[in-house]
Amino acid sequence: MTAQLAICTWFVADDKANATFSPQLGKLSDAPDVQAVYWRCITVFYASSLAVNPAARHVFFSNVRPPRIDGIELAELFAHWGVEVIPLPINWRLSPDAVSAWANQFYIFEILGYLAANHLAERVMVLDNDVIWLKPADAMCAAMDAAGGTLTYLLDDHPEAQDGPINGLDGDGMARFVARHGGPVEARTPYCGGEIYAASQAMTERFAARATQLWPEIRDQAADAPREDGHMLSVLFALERCPIGTANGFIRRLWTTFHYHNLAPADRDLTIWHLPAEKKTGFCDLFAKVTADPGLHPSQDAARMGLTFKSYARLMGWPRRSLRKLLRDGALKVAEKLHK
């Protein structure tokens, strides 16, 4: 029987020849300590989802086998949790000469191609790995169906989307690209975040087909071509005339840096928290709790594994950092500056 929902994330382990800069971690993407940060996030991603979505199919895509991190054999842990690991090489990659960061972000469209050809579930959600699931996905599935088979996360109201290009391309440029490929002629295309792709199987097949058609121009970086996954998703949503902003009641990009903090009381009601600035801190601490006893299972032992809202709030600093977290995060920041 085909599952009703597949929840996925992914990771590309870059080698030296394909490494680009990782802005949030301050190093090239092939560095072992950079990759370890992502593996901890991935583990937390699946633990938090399994705690609230035990009936969903959980699938992980990567070009490498999950490694041993902090003494934990992740391949064995994922097998124990029932997370399906699907090996998938990366071919959709921009040249390091074309972009200085995130050159492997188009891997998600490699995944969409796989999903289009292999019917894993009636609905699929592919998310960044630095997210935490707070609630079940049931309401998201209902909203997806009501919106015609997709959910889209509008980022235009976010400060990073207000002025000038985002990662080298603005809404005007995306609109020109959309119009050139038969889409609506608009002054600008709304920017949707790449942290979530949520669609029905039928829509995934349509998106995958369009992405394949567009890829040669993107690979060659033609005029106004997408430079990262958010651009590409925004273009696809515009071409398919999808309702925009339908995911905004479920997920939000939460910034917890010392320079920018946008956490709010209403975040308690979200289904998913996306926490890019907590990769080295909150996710690391939660990984330690989640893996303290590898024999436990998130769908059965959530509280014992720290998979509770209270734990998430404390470790991620919601709504504000505790004094303990403030001191810890501050010390890490100082140490990083001293080692530069």
**In angstroms, rounded to a whole number, what is the distance separating the alpha carbons of residues 29 and 184?**
37
Band of residue 306 on the pLDDT scale cut at 50, 70, 90: very high
| Token pair 């925009």: residue | 244
* Helix-, strand-, coil-residue percentages of the chain, each rounded to 5: 40, 15, 45
Q: Which residue has the higher pLDDT, 95 or 64?
A: 64
Cβ-Cβ contacts under 8 Å for 296 (sequence gap 6 or more): 304, 305
Rounded mean pLDDT of the chain?
Answer: 95
With b for 16 or more beta-carbon neighbours within 10 A and e for fewer, the 74-98 pattern comes to beebbeebebebeebebebbbebeb
What pLDDT does 98 receive? Answer: 81
Alpha helix (H) ranges present in 5-159? Answer: 32-52, 74-81, 107-117, 138-146
Q: Output the pLDDT for position 309.
A: 98
pLDDT tens, residue by residue, 69-120: 999 999 999 999 999 999 999 999 998 778 887 789 999 999 999 999 999 9
Given this model, what pLDDT does residue 160 score? 54
Domains of the chain: 3-338 (3.90.550.10)
d(CA 36, CA 69): 7
pLDDT in tens, 230-258: 999 999 999 999 999 999 999 999 999 99
Q: Measured between alpha carbons, how far is 105 from 165 in angstroms, rounded to an integer? A: 18
Give the model confidence (pLDDT) of 150-179 as tens digits: 999 999 655 555 567 888 899 999 999 999
